[in-house]
Amino acid sequence: MTSDCVICAEDLMKVYQMGQVEVNALAGVSINIERGEVVAIMGPSGSGKSTLMNILGCLDLPSSGKYILDGEAVETLNDDQLANIRNRKVGFIFQSFNLLSRTTALGNVELPLRYAGKISNRKERARAALDSVGLGDRISHRPTELSGGQQQRVAIARALVNNPAIIMADEPTGNLDSKVGKEILELLLGLNRDKGTTLIIVTHDPTIAAQTQRIIHLRDGLIEEKQ
C-alpha cells in the first residue's frame, strides 16, 4: 500500500439477505487506486459492479473488509460522518443525471455546497464549476430546458464543485448518443489531466474502458485484473 493511494480497499465482502438466501455480491475484493488514476470497472450485470461502486462511494458499508478513502477508515464511520465524506471527498455522476427538475442548473450545482455547511461564496463557486464544463451561459436554465449532454455537464459540474478526491461515474454516457457521449468522456478525462482528479468509471462500453489507464474486470463478486 503506497501512501499515495486514494482508495485502499482490502478483502471487501458484501452479503445481502434476500429472503432465506444469502447473496454474496462481493466475495473479497481488494483494490488500490492511486491519486490521479483513471480506472474503469467492467463486468456483466450481477457481477457486483454497482455494489462495489456504492461501497467505494460510501453510499453503503461493506459487510466485512477494510476500506480507507483518502486517509479515512470508512468502515468505522456513522451515518452522518459518511454523509460528510460523500460530500467532501466523492463526486457522483449517474447514468440518468439525477438533477432536481424544479431547480436551475446553478441551484443543482450549489446543492453539495449547501450540505457542506457555511460557505460564503457558494454562487461564485457553482458558477465557476458550470463555466468549467462549458455551461456558463445556461446557469438559470432548468434541467427540462437542457439537452441530455448539457444535463450531464450540469451533473459533472455538481460532482466537481466541492473539489472531491475522486469522481465516480456510473455509466455516464449510457443515456447519451455516441457523439455526445464522447464529448462527456473527453470532459471527464480533461478534468483528470488538468486537475488530477481520480476518476472511476463503471461502464459496459469497451471503447470507453479502452481510454482509461486501468480496467478492473469483476465477475461473481471477484476481480480478474488485467493491465
Q: Site residues (CB under 8 A) for another protein? A: 54, 57, 59-60, 79-80, 83-84, 86-88, 92, 94, 98, 100, 102-103, 111-112, 114-116, 158, 162
Instruction: Please report how close the Cβ of residue 88 comes to another protein at its closest, in angstroms.
Output: 7
**Separation of CA 91 from chain center:** 5
Whichever of 98 and 192 has its CB closer to another protein, that residue is 98
Least spacing, CB of residue 199 vs another protein, in Å: 17
**Given strand 72-73, what is the order of strands in its sheet?**
21-34, 5-18, 64-69, 72-73
**Residue 151 dihedral angles phi and psi, to the nearest 5°:** -60, -40
**Shortest gap between Cβ of 225 and another protein (angstroms)?**
25
- Cβ atoms of 88 and 31 within 8 Å: the answer is no
If the CB atoms of residues 80 and 137 are measured against another protein, the closer one turns out to be 80
CA distance 45 to 218: 10
Nearest by Cα to 168 from 24, 6, 2, 11:
6
Q: Give the list of residues 6+ apart from residue 103 with CB closer than 8 angstroms, or none.
A: 111, 142, 143
- Shortest gap between Cβ of 152 and another protein (angstroms)? 14
Which CB atom, from 25 or from 208, has the smaller least distance to another protein?
25
Q: Which is nearer to another protein, 73 or 100 (CB)?
A: 100
Nearer to another protein, 80 or 194 (CB): 80
* Least distance CB 159 / another protein (angstroms): 9
